[in-house]
Structure 1
Amino acid sequence: MTVTIVVDNEEALVDDVIIIEVKGLEKNQPITVRAETTEKDQVFAGSGCFTADDNGYVNLFKHASSSGTYTGVSPMGLFWSMKNAPNMPSGMRLIKNNASSALIVNLTVFSGHVTFEQTYSTTTSSLCTKEIRRWYMGNGVQKIKVKTGRIRGMLFLPPGKGPFPCVIDMFGTVGSCVEFRAALIASRGFASLALPYFIYDDLPNELSDVELEYFMEAVDWLSKHPYIDGDNLGVIGVSKGGEIALHLGYYCDKIKSVVSINGAPFFTTIPMLYKGKLIGQSIFHPEKAVNGEEGYEARNCMDCEIKNFLPIWEKDVNVLLVCGLDDRCLSDHILTNLNNCYPPDRKHLCKLLSYPGAGHLIEPPYAPLARSTEKFVRGVGGDHGVFKILWGGRTVEHAHAQEDSWKHILQHFRSTLMNTSSSSATSTGDINYVTKAASSKL
């Protein structure tokens, strides 16, 4: 009998759980399954070792991996446990540049239980292969390049006639226009604007030249867009983008809902201009940084004093804080202290999600952990240049945080932006999440 790989959905969204099966094996036959994807010449892969049942069958939804890049039962283990392939440099982060193209994944079955490294040996024989596609941008989602006034970015519109509630999506000091999460948000029923703010097109090259008015202009533009429900606008950001998200929630009354992923209630290291003045300035202590083997760790460099916090608890904006407790860039005390600033009669406006073992870069579900990356940094410890930055996170715990927080993020926006009669948006379907029994093992 021919060995084959069967996948229940070969064109799934990246936050969908898929079922991978291997059929046609011998009874109790040992095999290794590898998933591999390439983006911008960077190769990521994950593997698991399995033993066929009495019928010569392996189902990753039911059967445990005994070794590889993950162990135990986890339908998506091949994906969240991905790491750099042999001969690839350390410090890689999987970022899909063009969200309208698929993330192509090659599945390969090898004979026997072999190590991750051995799957790349020319002496290791493969039994079969299969190519699948995983998408950030679902069927019917429109992608529109934005270049109006000084606003730059990508607008994603879900299927339907609208008007749609809209989420502004921002990333951190990676710069450029990062569009994959915005595309996924649109695939779940919201309009979404991937909003770059430096190192893109004709935008500033330096963070110190970025003004809060730029983001306010984006809000005003969206509020008047014919396909956008201007009464239901939200914002999500990670790292520096999370800081900006909180400030938009405070300074802009048009923003109803905020998600800040490891973003401080002040501007870390570099304040921002607003009406010609610097706002959100905080004190950075470079002498408290640790430059270790894994990279530059700055989690203890920022003051956690509440007196420096943006008093967003004074505003009628719904806030969700996502905090990785193994974040090596930002102290987890900062978001805990921010949540504690809410008086009892305003506690309903803020929710804090804290995840042990999760790092700084909490992405949508099943993305590989980027524990550290190399990046060009201006002004770290008074120096400029390429630094290896330690973001933190432990693989299994970080994967759980990404899966769990994504459910809460979508629910947060659904409950705060889809609760008025003016919104005609509909979700394109609930995420097909792992059952509790499987999820507990990831």
Structure 2
Amino acid sequence: MCFVLISESMSAQVRLRLLPSVRCLFDEPIQVKVAGLRSKQVVTMRASSTDERGLVFNSSASYRADDRGEIDLKRDAALSGSYVGVEPMGLLRSLKADVLHKYFYKNRALEPFMVKLSVHDEEGRKLAEATNERRLIGDGVSRVPVKKGNIQGVLFIPPGEGPFPAVLDLCTIMSEKRASLLANKGFMVLALPVFIDKPNFERMNLDDFEEAVRFLQNQPKASSKGVGVISRSKGGDIALSLAAFVQGVEAVVWINGCSANVAIPLYYKNRQILSPLMFNLSKVLPTESGAKLVKYVLEDPLAEENQGSVIPIERADGQFLFVASEDDLNWDSKGYLDHMVERLKRHGKKNFESVTYPAAGHLLEPPYGPHCPSSFHETVRFPVVWGGEPKAHAAAELHLWKKMRDFLLAHLSCSAAHTQIL
């Protein structure tokens, strides 16, 4: 239990508690409770956080206290504000900047996600406040920068002797968030960006990513000869290509990607193995917010002229988890998922499972972070809409977070003793 009172303007009777503690991991929920209010008093709960680029994000919601002058966000409905209804973590999910099209950058594992929460009366006076420290890296997890050959990433190793399931986390732009959080759950994870600098549209070498697979296989604490791969967006087609062409990939989590090789010719062992599925930027559509809708800019991978870009996933021996958001406004992820499922079935393959989220958007991330409806796209160089009904998107992230871990654990070899602690 924790409460913080920092100025004379705040009521000595009002207490803001964050349970079970003010400190937790990024992917853990907290219970927010207020006590010491008047019976039926209406107050405003506020949250504020600053991202790694110095941009401030805020949210707020009004609540009415019960007969005892208490509010419990796990039980009580927000009356108005950034959201309405019962959302225990709504203040975090709804954090947004004052300017449009901003993504909350929280990608460095060593810096916690700090959220200031406060209670205000109807005149705006602050009654109480507390700070939630949400850590990305748990006690005992090792963070090891890796710069070896063509590998430029960060390796996260859980505490203990292992062995640990080994996972390659392919992030389009470098982020340590998902990798460090998975390491907290007992996985050894190498976070590796698809693009280190600006994309080279002339060629991409699958050999560079195979090098990362071999690096993980050779780690002394790795628990199996094979590795898992997690991917989203452009990383999705790289993950599929690894499964199809490279030995040792036992499990692939494909999230909101494409069934074909997107935009850049793919080479392996100095020969082109996949042609690029190209963009048609004339299909970009404007929206009222000023961000662009790019869902339809990719050419059809099923068209005859694009067959050379389609990834032959039927060659893969490993297992697939296909994840698609039906409100993905970046790519037609559900269509690509259906294409892959049909292709595998046609080849008599059963090494896959799939999950779809009807109202979620493109940016499925670890749970309890701010929802991002639109932001600047690093590749096309203008703001785009990502999609997702905020509450449903948050629920999808929570469901996927457990689903993904269970899938990787089921298909990556590890000892029985280790399985019990995950």
- Give the structure 2 partner of residue 312 of structure 1: 313
Counterpart residue type for residue 49 of structure 2: T
- One-letter amino acid matched to 2:82: T
Contact 2:163 2:418 (C-alpha < 8 Å) held by counterparts: yes
Deviation at 1:339, TM superposition (A): 1.6
1:180 corresponds to 2:177: yes
Offset of 1:139 from its aligned partner? 1.5
- Kept in 2: contact 1:266–1:280 (CA 8 A): no
The correspondence of residues 401-416 of structure 1 with structure 2, limited to 5 A, is 401-416=396-411
Deviations 1:236-260 (A, max 9, x none): 0111112211111111220100001
Q: CA deviation at 1:179?
A: 0.7
Q: 1:106 aligns with which of 98, 116, 121?
A: 116
Report the counterpart of residue 273 of structure 1 in structure 2: 267
| 1:35 alignment counterpart | 47
| Shift in CA distance, 280/186, structure 1 to aligned 2, threshold 3 Å | farther
Matching of residue 17 in structure 1 with residue 14 in structure 2: no
For residues 3-402 of structure 1, what are the structure 2 equivalents within 5 Å?
3-8=14-19, 9-39=21-51, 40-84=53-97, 86=98, 89-112=99-122, 124-172=124-172, 175=173, 177-199=174-196, 206-278=200-272, 279-294=274-289, 295-302=291-298, 303-305=300-302, 307=307, 308-331=309-332, 332-343=334-345, 348-377=350-379, 380=380, 386-402=381-397
User: What CA distance in whole angstroms lies between the structure 2 residues aligned with 1:138 and 1:327?
Assistant: 32
Q: Secondary structure at the match of 2:212?
A: helix
Shift of residue 28, structure 1, vs aligned partner? 0.8
Tell me how far 1:269 sits from its aligned partner: 2.0
Given that residues 43 and 119 in structure 2 are in contact (C-alpha distance below 8 angstroms), is that contact kept between their aligned partners in structure 1? yes
How many angstroms apart in 1 are the aligned matches of 2:360 and 2:33?
Answer: 30
Contact 1:208–1:272 (CA under 8 A) maintained in structure 2 = no
Q: CA deviation at 1:343?
A: 1.9
Match of 2:100, SS state, is coil
The amino acid across from 1:297 in the alignment is L
Deviations 1:36-93 (A, max 9, x none): 1111211122222111111111111111111111111121111112221x3xx21111
| Uncovered stretches (5+) of structure 1, i.e. residues with no partner | 113-122, 381-385, 430-442
How far residue 420 of structure 1 moved from its aligned partner, in angstroms, is 4.0
8 Å contact kept, 1:288–1:300: yes
Give the drift of 1:207.
5.0
Please identify, of 238-247 and 263-272, the stretch whose mean Cα deviation from structure 2 is larger.
263-272
Indicate the larger mover: 288-297 or 156-165: 288-297
Q: Is the 8 A contact 1:143 1:157 kept in 2?
A: yes
Classify the secondary structure of the residue corresponding to 2:80: coil
Q: For residues 310 and 208 of structure 1, do their structure 2 counterparts lie closer, same or farther at Cα, with a shift above 3 Å needed?
A: same
CA shift in 2, pair 1:348/1:70, >3 Å: farther
User: How far off its partner does 1:280 sit?
Assistant: 4.6
Deviations 1:322-380 (A, max 9, x none): 11111122112111221222228956421221112211111111222222112443xx5
User: CA offsets per residue over residues 102-147 of structure 1, 9 Å max, x none?
Assistant: 11110011113xxxxxxxxxx7211111111001211111101111
Pick closer, same or farther for the CA change 1:43–1:347 going to 2, 3 Å.
farther
Cα distance between partner residues in 1 of 2:371 and 2:30: 20
Q: Does the residue aligned with 1:21 lie in a helix, a strand or coil?
A: strand
Q: Is residue 160–residue 425 contact of structure 1 (8 Å, CA) maintained in 2?
A: no
| Alpha-carbon distance in 2 for matches of 1:181, 1:212 | 22
Once residues 64 and 271 of structure 2 are traced to their aligned partners in structure 1, the CA distance between those partners, rounded to angstroms, is 64
| Structure 1 residues 149 and 424, CA gap change in structure 2 (3 angstroms) | farther
The two structures have a TM-score, normalised by structure 2, of 0.89
Which consecutive unaligned segments of at least 5 residues does structure 2 have? 1-11
When the two chains are superposed, the root-mean-square deviation of aligned CA atoms in Å is 2.1
Matches of 1:322 and 1:47, distance apart in 2 = 32
When structure 1 is superposed on structure 2, of 403-412 and 346-355 the one drifting more is: 346-355
What CA distance in whole angstroms lies between the structure 1 residues aligned with 2:27 and 2:150? 33
The CA deviation at 1:206 is 2.6
Matched-pair identity in %: 34
| Letter of the 1:337 counterpart | H
C-alpha contact 1:222 1:230 (8 A) present in aligned 2 = no
Runs of at least 4 residues of structure 1 off by over 6 A?
A: none
